[in-house]
Structure 1
Amino acid sequence: MHFADFVAGSVGGAVGVVVGYPIDTVKVRIQTQRRFTGVWHCFRSTWKTEGVYGFFKGVSVPVTTVSITSSVVFGTYRNCLQCLLQLHSGSPEATPTKLDVFLSGLAGGVTQVLVMSPADTVKVRLQCQMEPRQSATTRTLPRYRGPIHCMLTIAREEGVLSLYRGAPALCLRDGPSFATYFLTYNTLCEWLTPVGQKRPEWPVVMLAGGLAGVGGWTVGTPMDVIKARLQVDGMGKRKYLGFLHCITESVRQEGPGVFFKGLGLNCMRAFPVNMVVFVTYELLLGFLRTPP
């Protein structure tokens, strides 16, 4: 069991969340609220009504939970990879095939949904709750007063299982997305690292990590849209009867282009976030695996 990957993945994920959270908030609002005509309109509206705070709504949830889920993803990926290598090569130190990397990434992405789904639902609800800045004339309390209050309110009003609303879409997003993510990173590092050199140089890690994030989100964005809509459904009158109904209704009302809402923002956020994630991950992994 490789425990270093769990620790390095945890820290890398938490750092990545802070870097990319403002863009994520704008992306979620565009995907779920039709009143925004574009990125700039959403940005200006958020800034005008809520200030800087509006871009970081719910950030405490993912900083805490993404460190856990990222730990699960990287740890599951590494240990799955070692098991596959042991099975077909007889040695966990053998060079993995592209299929080994793909399947291990798929396993990591699906596994972390069990941990991530409730926290992700809370995050999305808080991001989509737009109340004006507090002043002497505006004292109305928001529906959700924080992450814990939001989670308890959802469980009380909609049932505990509502915290897992969007979980099927989350699985379909994160399985293929993380498979692509690790495959892209592994392939680029392999291509750009000179023969005989065991570890890639830091510029290679940064480039490969950034492009891995872009590749993963390109694959994952269609299901990210459906996932976000299902999670927000319930803040008002229920619009969707379930996963398939959400897909058909979204396409009927907005056309196939609805699946790519937020793709540009996802890719814009993915490069710096995952560059930081992999640099942190590789740095800590090297430190934790260095013999005393």
Structure 2
Amino acid sequence: MQTEARVGVVVEGGPRALNSQPKQHKPLQQQYQQSQIGTVSQLVAGGVAGALSKTCTAPLARLTILFQVQGMHSDVATLRKASIWHEASRVIREEGVRALWKGNLVTIAHRLPYSSVNFYAYERYKQFLHMIPGLEIHRESAGVNLFVHFVGGGLAGITAASATYPLDLVRTRLAAQTNVIYYRGIWHALQTISREEGVFGLYKGLGATLLGVGPSIAISFSVYESLRSFWHSRRPHDSTVAVSLACGSLSGIASSTATFPLDLVRRRKQLEGAGGRARVYTTGLLGIFKHIIQTEGFRGLYRGIMPEYYKVVPGVSICFTTYETLKLLLADVTPTI
């Protein structure tokens, strides 16, 4: 969730000035056609950028998940010995190098629609919010723009997360598998979960996911905008792209730090009952937080945060660069009627 929030902020905040051009008066039909082209370009660019970013950072993402779920079935002694290098070496030794990308196929299958829905919904929500009476006549106001970006981003995140959540759950279960293979692939996992846990089993942990959307968007956007304004006030001639990438990465680190406990609980809820195992947590979110703190300490809420930090900068950079490059390439494509 953190990555989607920070990437949306970076793309929205950074390169708009680079691509802005004087408005020209054109026939309504031509304007409509260009709008459609822009929508398709945005869907493709957002989906591909998200998939490529996730593929490049997949090893770190899998290590994050493995650390996050360790406390469910491991003893305290084992947890104390955990380290990124130790866990990566274990995965390579026991499962092979390719295992670092285990679950990446479903990650791509999830990220393509997720990123596309996220970018598309964000634009649609912004248009809708600008049409609200009282906001329409103040659309150039900084306060109104801040409100529209924040609410639009939050609603877009909720929409995308809800629409594609079963694939996110399957991704977690495939990535969490080590030596024992219970789910043989995406379709087999979807069928098995539906049969053994019911259709609602595909939505375990959705509550924690949606609770994290608002804070993640708020922190990412607030930190990003504050850092970017401060930077431009001190160094106004620096590259817009460089400033956006730097501020986006820092806002991602801040967002991850603040919302990581919710993300950890989400992963553990997604694994409840996986592979026929008995349930570990029988309470709500507050009860799960209390259980983790009692059994693993406060640091247990941040188990796996280091690989999450390490993937922030490359993840944001790859997604941002790919998205902007594809938008420029797809903008040159003209429709044939």
TM-score, length-scaled by structure 2: 0.74
Q: Secondary structure at the match of 1:97?
A: helix
Q: Secondary structure at the match of 2:181?
A: coil
Contact 1:144 1:150 in 2 (8 A): yes
In the TM superposition, 1:186-205 aligns within 5 A as 186-189=225-228, 192=231, 201-205=240-244
The count of residues paired between Structure 1 and Structure 2 equals: 281
Between the aligned partners of 1:12 and 1:183, the Cα distance in structure 2 is 23
RMSD of aligned Cα (Å):
2.8
Deviation string 1:258-288 (CA, Å, 9 cap, x unpaired) is 2222222212112210121122223333444
Between the aligned partners of 1:82 and 1:186, the Cα distance in structure 2 is 21
Partner of 2:303: 261
Q: Is the radius of gyration larger for structure 1 or structure 2?
A: 2
Instruction: Please state if 1:278 is matched with 2:320.
Output: yes
Deviation at 1:42, TM superposition (A): 1.4
Instruction: Please state if 1:27 is matched with 2:64.
Output: yes
Higher RCO (CA 8 Å, separation ≥ 6 residues): 2
Q: 2:170 aligns with which of 113, 119, 122?
A: 122
Deviation at 1:67, TM superposition (A): 1.4
Instruction: Please state if 1:234 is matched with 2:273.
Output: yes
Partner of 1:212: 251
Instruction: Please state if 1:100 is matched with 2:148.
Output: yes
Deviation string 1:81-138 (CA, Å, 9 cap, x unpaired) is 333334314376775633332222211221112123211111111111111xxxxxxx
Contact 1:168 1:243 in 2 (8 A): no
Which deviates the most, 253-262 or 148-157?
Answer: 253-262
Q: 1:110 aligns with which of 158, 164, 174?
A: 158
- The one-letter code matched in structure 2 to 1:67 is L
Partner of 1:134: none
Instruction: Please state if 1:84 is matched with 2:129.
Output: yes
Structure 1: gaps spanning 5 or more residues: 132-140
Between the aligned partners of 1:109 and 1:274, the Cα distance in structure 2 is 17
Q: Secondary structure at the match of 1:130?
A: coil
- The one-letter code matched in structure 1 to 2:108 is V
Indicate the percent of aligned positions where both proteins have the same amino acid: 29
Instruction: Please state if 1:41 is matched with 2:83.
Output: no
Which deviates the most, 26-35 or 213-222?
Answer: 213-222
Contact 1:29 1:127 in 2 (8 A): yes
Deviation at 1:228, TM superposition (A): 0.6
Contact 1:17 1:62 in 2 (8 A): yes
Partner of 1:13: 50
In the TM superposition, 1:103-182 aligns within 5 A as 103-131=151-179, 142-182=181-221
Between the aligned partners of 2:254 and 2:229, the Cα distance in structure 1 is 17
Contact 2:65 2:267 in 1 (8 A): yes
- The one-letter code matched in structure 2 to 1:130 is T
Deviation at 1:211, TM superposition (A): 2.6
Deviation at 1:208, TM superposition (A): 3.1
